[in-house]
Amino acid sequence: MLLLVINCGSSSIKFALLQMEHETVRLSGIVEAIGEAQGTIILRQHENKYKEDKVETTIADHTVALEYVLAFLSQHANNLHMLAGIGHRVVHGGDYFHSATLINDQVIDAIEKTIPLAPLHNPANLVGIKTMAKLRPNLPQVAVFDTAFFQTLPAYAYRYAVPQACYEDHHVRRYGFHGTSHQHVAQATADYLDRTLDTLNLITLHLGNGSSAAAIKNGICIDTSMGMTPLEGLVMGSRCGDIDPALPFYLVRNSNMDIHQVETMLNESSGLKGLCGVKDMREILRLAEDGDQQAKLAIDLYCYRICKYIGAYHVALGGTDALVFTGGIGENSQQIRQTICAQLKVLGIEIDAQKNDSKMNNAVEISTTNSAVNVLVIPTNEELEIARQSFAVIHDQHRLLSTGK
Ligand code: ADP
């Protein structure tokens, strides 16, 4: 069986066609600069000999882009009739969605109602869903939400201490993001440790351009660092993470920025970029190596904030079985992992320098045998997680239809 995963952004579409029996990607790609004068299409064939082609052309809109994608799939996947359905990444599911959901008109309505909470992402995700429904009306489509994994948070973790009316009338609460990644590495950790997820307390760190932490108690997520928006929490590439909520008011009163400029600043020119001018961690590490003090500060602050969350989550969990690193930085930077873990000795955490330095493509444990907590590096795979969850929903639907229940 095949499953197509689509991640539709406002001007780009990422896709992957997976063979579900072996959970391998057969074809994938990205369409960028949709609606601009010159668009780009990158098409990858993963089977036999890996091949990547790049086409530059005008891509008028998302329909044209998805037609390109479907033509590419038909050309290179001889068994496209085995396509079981399509899994869509949807950023915000609000309070409505607790798990991956088969798409129908009510689901589309609910995703539309959530647009005010994710005005940049949900409309684009909906364009992908509606376009595919037109192009392939007979294929089941499933929405997999970035927020769903966090719907288990207790009220004391998801509520803000603001008047009840803000919550009831305006849906102001913490939702969390990167849920598919945290869920994927949590399950992969259980598999690696040969335990069932419901017996484990985990702290998962997704450290990429966007960064977030999650506390998972006996397999259930009880807290996460991103909030009503992805701006809250850890320091990120260009997002500020936690700040004094009065900071925007102060700036509006005392600088020449209006509220929109402050919002843009906190999202696009803060975080690591705000601290040292660069958001790419590889470059920041190089600059710090060359003695750049601002880059050093950016690294120290980034790691310190992560450690503060780990300390808090360790208490919230009542003890941690495993600390898990994932995301571009978490998977690839031995130095960031080392800097973080060096501050966690008080929790009995100890990593093996040699294991931490080794090249890794798969899940690896980097803690010593004496460490009180297993420390793991686990590559995330959001496409696979979306495909797995979508496939399970479609499979259940078929079962229900065939048993008439
Ligand atoms: P996104 O959130 O956009 O998916 P990624 O998870 O790909 O981002 O992470 C991007 C970040 O990972 C960048 O800051 C990049 O510098 C960092 N990164 C990738 N490889 C390394 C590496 N070898 N060492 C340090 N940082 C790395």
Tell me which of 71-80, 91-100, 375-384 is least confident. 71-80
Distance (Å, rounded) from C-alpha 384 to C-alpha 18? 8
By the 8 A CB rule, do 351 and 338 touch? yes
What pTM was computed for the model? 0.95
Nearest atom, ligand 1, residue 237 CA: 14
Nearest alpha-carbon partner for 142 in 132, 152, 154:
132
Q: Using CA positions, which residue lies closest to atom 1 of ligand 1?
A: 209
Place of tokens 């607790």: 98
Ligand 1 atom closest to the CA of 210, numbered from 1: 2
pLDDT reading at 338 higher than 90: yes
**Residue 99 burial (C-beta neighbours within 10 Å; 0-12, 13-18, 19+):** middle
Q: What are residue 106's phi and psi, to 5 degrees?
A: -65, -40
- Write down all domains in the chain, each with its CATH number in brackets: 2-145 (3.30.420.40), 194-382 (3.30.420.40)
What tokens appear for 204 in the block? Answer: 């998962």
* Residues noted as catalytic: 146
Rounded-to-integer distance, Cα 167 and Cα 173, Å? 6
pLDDT number for residue 402:
81
pLDDT at 399: 82
Provide residues with CB under 6 Å of ligand 1: 208-210, 237, 280-282, 285, 327-329, 332-333
Amino acid symbol at 228: M
**To test ligand 1's pocket by mutation, which of 32, 146, 281, 336 has the most ligand atoms within 8 angstroms of CB?**
281
Cα 71 to middle of ligand 1, angstroms: 32
Better-scored residue on pLDDT, 404 or 185: 185
Query: Across all residues in the chain, what is the average pLDDT?
Result: 96
- In whole angstroms, give the CA distance from residue 108 to residue 99: 15
Distance between Cα 33 and ligand 1 center (Å):
22
Pocket-testing residue among 182, 204, 209, 268, ligand 1, by greatest number of atoms within 8 A of Cβ: 209
Give me ligand 1 centre to Cα 330, in Å: 8
* Cα–ligand 1 centroid distance for 248 (angstroms): 29
**Which atom of ligand 1 approaches the CA of 206 most closely?**
6
DSSP 6-32: EEE-SS-EEEEEEETTTTEEEEEEEEE
Between strands 220-224 and 39-45, the pairing is unpaired
Q: Quote the CA–CA distance of 285 and 32 in Å, as a whole number.
A: 29
Using a pLDDT cut of 90, give the percent of the chain over it: 94
Model confidence over 353-388: pLDDT tens digits?
Answer: 999 998 888 999 999 999 999 999 999 999 999 999
| % of the chain at pLDDT higher than 70 | 100
Tens-place pLDDT, residues 7-26? 998 899 999 999 999 999 99
pLDDT tens column, 273-300: 999 999 999 999 999 999 999 999 999 9
Which structure tokens are listed for 335?
A: 């130095």
Tell how far the Cα of 327 is from the centroid of ligand 1, in angstroms.
7
The structure tokens listed for 15 are: 């896709």
> Cβ distance 375 to 365 under 8 Å?
yes
Measured from the Cβ of residue 316, the count of other Cβ atoms closer than 10 Å reads 17
pLDDT in tens, 212-230: 999 999 999 999 999 999 9
